[in-house]
Amino acid sequence: MESLEHRDLLAITPFAADSMFELPGGNPGVEIAQIAAETNGNLVAFGRFQGTVDFDRGPGVVNLTSSGSDLFVARYSPVGNLLGVVDLSDGDAFAYDVAVDPNGSVYVSGSYSTALTLLGGVSLPAPAQGVESAFVAKLDSTLQTTEWHLQGEADAFSLSGISTDSLGDKVYVGGEAFGVGNFGGENFNLRRSWTGFVSRIDAATGQLEWSQYLKDVGHVSITVDPTDPNAIYARERVNASDEATVLRLDTDGNVVWQRTIDNNIYWTSAPVASNGSLYLAGRFGDDVVHLDGTSLVPNGIDALVVGLDGATGDVTWAQQAGGPGWDSSDALAVDSNGNLFLAGEFEDTAQFGADTLVASTDSDRFVTQVNAADGTFIQTWRYGRATVNGIATRNGNTYVIGSHDPASIDFPSGDLPQSNSGDLDYVMRFVPAADPTVPRVNGFLASPNPVDQGSQVDLTVVGLYDPAGRVNSVAFYHDVNGDRRVTPGTDTLVGTDSKGADGWSVAGSTAGLSLGANTFLAQAAYDVSLLTLPVSAVADVRFPVDESAVTYASDDVPLDIGEGPLRTSTISVADFGTVNDVNVQLDISHDAVGQLNAWLVGPDGTRVELFTNAGYINGNNMEHTTIDDEAVDDNGDPINILDGSAPFSGDYQPEGLLSGAGLHLFDGRSGAGTWTLELLDDTNYAGPGDSGYLNAWSITLTPSAPPAPSFSINDVQVLEGDSGTATAEFVVTRSGDASQQVSVEYSTADVSAIAGIDYQGINNATLTFVPGITSLPVSVTVQGDTAEESDETFLLVLSNPVGATISDDRGLVTIHHDDRPLVADVLYVYDIRFDSKRGGKDWRAEFEIRSDADGDGLVTENDAPAAGVLITVTFAGQTYSGVTDSFGIFRTNWIKNLSNGDHYANAVDLVLAGYVWNVLDMDAEDDSDGDGKPDEVLMI
């Protein structure tokens, strides 16, 4: 076996230093909107920039200076060398999407709010007041010439997706329009309704060839199968609709098939296609997802990837990943060879096939390779303290983009070039492992939490991937300098495990350690006889997850939260006890600084201020941000949202807590009901932007500790019978905490009934409740006889509880003599009457319901009217259902022009909890003679 050389690091892990690079950024700086990968492995980035920016990462200087928020297109080699960059526009513009064709041409789409001049002097006039404008343009392979452009405008207009076919002949764009407008010289009038559309453009000339308008479909993203230029797919991007629409078009714009997919899924990524299949990605939670015979049960909020048959639209496979926390698929890419890659975020511990990932803080990011044939996860990596904004792949080169804070970025097994400060965009080149047995440390845990000075700490690797058993030792360090990397001579060794028999872990003392950041590191060494190549991970000491906490996600998102009025989104909690803690998770985009306010309103109307005057110019205001009364920074100090700045990420205390009105106001109140998130953009803004979306939000409710378990038993009535036996069925109920095993003894006791004669006695039997069980039956056999006797009673008595108390220790059994009617609450139809009006042309039926309260089995005037009874009746061939009034009366609707002799009235059913109907077979004759006896059917 040969030694590995340093250049093989790229084949070992995607996180080697020369596989990652920053793009220049800061504020002002670079914002990458989207990326595309070319057939030769080069990366094309499209976005906007402000100020003067050097786009060359190397020793050279290639400065571009913007005149506002200018658009740029840049091309980089796989190792990050700048191959070309161009200032595409002047003026204020926004970047949407980018695509490349096999000839190296680049296609971009964007929007603008002022007059714009594209590369080559192409002028786009400023849109009129109240009109939105967008464009699509083609650049040649040298990025020096704008070959053509198309412009569109309407009351609202966007171009949210762009794709080319495999031949480079056609360009497809997807978008959304509202009202009256024009695109590429083609006028449209959508009659003040939101409508998605797909358009085809000749790649050579820029001629618009056709547009297909898709009713009731929102923002449209588009993809073309790189192996089949005739397979064009579109999917509705996330909007106010609960369902996502997916469809296939032919090259003439005709719909081949169209379908909606389970509305419990929140789709987060544009679709991708290859080799006759279509792939979608997103997340789901709360409810079971059903996909063409495949049912997925959520474990918290789970990441999801789905494969569809491109010919039919049928789901061929669906895979979920994650754990009990928040896990989401945020970006998806596939190449012509069928290599499928997924990127997103996960919380705490998450499972991706054979890979267990452990977040070093509350949430980290993942990149995973997926088997496109069946959706199984091939290999997965984690990295932390960054966002995922896009992914692209081509011929073994996969790129992920996002933003990060260089001071705290966590890329295992390689240092990202560090900058002093600022929020910078990054590009990561991912190369699948050539050797699938190369170990990976995907995270580990430290306990107990929090770790105190001088205490014992247990450090355990959870996320070690080592299928071939190549790891020979794992060393654990305290990260003294806080750089989240093992620094020899600086970081303190806590301990080394060289056995790994029961997993890799050590127990060490924290005496002498400075635990301000509470950060530890794990470094695994393998193949030591050849070359020691460490793989490392970090673990922040975190409080354990409360397994009793439940997360509820809103399903009426995304929600438009543009300028005024107050917007609301709700979450319904069907069943929840008393609240002990509430946290709010938010995913919000908003384009204008300092204009957004938010409140959380509980089911009883309690209102808590979350923040005021938030917002961020690039729209990424909050990405998986948690509002939590107990939020602290890395040093353990409380951090209020006023202490942070947009874009917000991580945990913050609500602004209202500063005045004593935090989320703790919900503690002690019921969690059941409707929770409402209120959002208000309260500032008029004349410039571009001033728009946004509530992309997702959820609440995590932790219940108060349940009361101690307690036993009770019900009373029972039974009809004795003349012979044989009958059974008295008791139910013993455990209330309160049901998480532990408890037990109780029970015995019978005579009252007037005698054990051995009237019933079979029981002595000191035991009833055991395993965790989760709240009620169990107990049966007692009653003996029948023909003796004339009064009703008799006996008791079932509870005693000697273990792990619980007894609140009601005895259940009374009443044995009713078989020659006497059973005293029970019986409902019956006392009378049916007909009402008429308009001289007998219109008729309705009236039913009077009473209860045999005295149990004599007779119909008398003393029987009370039964109010609130649910009754189902037929009248003149029609069925009516309703509830009786306080007089026990239910009336049907009037039926017009109904003749005598061809209709009847009939009580079909009576329902009221605890009651039975006609159990004594009471007189049910027709009451047409008015004798006061009950009717069941009345003819006229």
The domain that holds 681 is classified in CATH as 2.60.120
Single-letter code of the amino acid located at 445: L
Q: What is the DSSP string of 922-939?
A: ------TT--SPPPSEEE
pLDDT of the residue at 614: 65
Q: Is the pLDDT of residue 113 over 90?
A: no
Report the CATH number at residue 786. 2.60.40.2030
Q: What's the confidence (pLDDT) of residue 8?
A: 23
Query: Collapsing DSSP states into helix, strand and coil, what is residue 190?
Result: strand
User: Residue 655 in 3-state DSSP?
Assistant: helix
795's tokens? 């008791």
Q: Is residue 147 part of a domain?
A: yes
Render the burial of 826-857: b for 16+ CB within 10 Å, e for the rest: bbbbbbbbbeeeeeeeebbbebbbbbbeebeb
Q: Worst-scoring range by mean pLDDT, 29-33, 442-446, 717-721?
A: 442-446
Same domain, 632 and 766: no
- How far is it, in rounded angstroms, from Cα 100 to Cα 84? 15
CATH number for the domain harbouring residue 861 = 2.60.40
Least confident of 58-67, 236-245, 499-508: 236-245
pLDDT at 690: 59
Greatest mean pLDDT among 409-418, 486-495, 704-713: 704-713
Instruction: Please report which confidence band the pLDDT of residue 196 belongs to, taking 50, 70 and 90 as the band edges.
Output: confident
> Which of 254, 282, 311 represents a domain boundary (last residue)?
254
Number of domains in the chain: 5
- Mean pLDDT value across residues 234-243: 57
Is residue 807 domain-shared with residue 834, that is, in the same domain? no
Separation between Cα atoms, residue 796 and residue 762, nearest integer Å: 9
| 54-58 LR contacts (CB < 8 Å, sep 24+) | 54/24, 55/23, 55/24, 55/82, 55/85, 56/82, 57/21, 57/22, 57/23, 57/24, 57/81, 57/82, 58/82
The model's pLDDT over 739-790, given as tens digits with 9 standing for 90+, comes to 788 999 999 999 988 999 889 999 999 999 988 888 899 999 988 876 666 6
Give 539 or 633, the one with higher predicted confidence. Answer: 633
Q: Six-digit token pair at 575?
A: 């069943």
| Domain end position, chosen among 540, 558, 585 | 540
For the segment 371-385, what is each residue's pLDDT rounded down to a tens digit?
999 999 988 888 776
User: Which pLDDT does position 531 carry in this prediction?
Assistant: 42
pLDDT tens for each residue of 120-137: 888 888 888 878 899 999
Identify how many contiguous H helices and E strands the chain contains and give both numbers: 1, 72
Query: For residue 324, is pLDDT > 60?
Result: yes
- At 62 the three-state DSSP class reads coil
Q: Which amino acid is at 900?
A: N
Which two three-digit tokens encode residue 427? 């590009």
- Residue 4: other Cβ atoms inside 10 A: 16
Q: Both 736 and 883 in a single domain?
A: no
Report the half-sphere exposure of 289 (CA within 13 A, side-chain side).
29
Residue 497 domain boundaries: 440-540
Over range 80-100, report the average pLDDT. Answer: 89
- pLDDT value of residue 516: 57
Looking at 126-130, 188-192, 523-527, 834-838, which range is the least confident one?
188-192
Mean pLDDT of 487-503: 80
Same domain, 643 and 496: no
792 and 908 in a single domain? The answer is no
Q: What is the spatial distance between Cα 429 and Cα 42, in angstroms, rounded to a whole number?
A: 11
Residue 572 has pLDDT above 60, yes or no: yes
Find, among 138, 133, 96, the residue nearest to 118 by Cα.
Answer: 138
- Give the highest mean pLDDT range of 440-454, 551-565, 598-612: 598-612
User: Is the per-residue pLDDT at 667 higher than 80?
Assistant: yes
Q: Beta strands of 736-888 (E only): which ranges?
A: 742-750, 765-769, 775-783, 792-802, 805-806, 810-816, 826-837, 842-851, 864-865, 870-875, 878-883
Are 715 and 673 found together in one domain? no
Residue 203 near residue 223 (C-beta atoms within 8 A): no
Determine, yes or no, domain membership for 204: yes
What whole-number distance in Å separates Cα of residue 595 and Cα of residue 461? 44
- Per-residue model confidence (pLDDT) at position 900: 61
Residue 918 pLDDT grade (very low, low, confident, very high; cuts 50, 70, 90):
low
Say what the pLDDT of residue 797 is.
95
For residue 508, the model assigns a pLDDT of 77
The enclosing H or E element of 121 equals none
Residue 930 pLDDT level (bands cut at 50, 70, 90): low
* Percentage of residues in the chain having pLDDT higher than 70: 78
> Is residue 232 scored above 80 in pLDDT?
yes
Pair 691, 733 in one domain:
no
Average pLDDT of the chain is: 79
Mean predicted confidence (pLDDT) in 867-877: 83
Q: Is the pLDDT of residue 617 over 60?
A: no
The mean-pLDDT minimum among 166-180, 474-488, 600-614 falls in: 474-488
Please give the residue that has the higher pLDDT: either 532 or 156.
156
Residue 737, pLDDT score: 84
